Amino acid sequence: MVEAIKSFKDNIVGLRIDENFSEGDIIPMLPIMKEKLNVHKKLNLFVEHVEMNDFTVDTLFDFLDISFGSLALFHKVAVVTSKDWLVEATKLTEENFDFELKIFHFSEKYDAVDWIEQ
Q: What confidence score (pLDDT) does residue 25 get?
A: 80
Weakest mean pLDDT among 4-13, 28-37, 38-47, 48-57: 48-57
pLDDT band at 55 (very low <50, low <70, confident <90, very high): low
pLDDT given at position 93: 59
The CA distances from residue 25 to 43, 49, 73, 106, 116, in Å, are: 20, 14, 20, 23, 23
Domain boundaries, the chain: 2-117
CATH topology of domain 2-117: Transcription Regulator spoIIAA (3.30.750)
pLDDT in tens, 67-90: 777 888 899 989 898 877 666 666
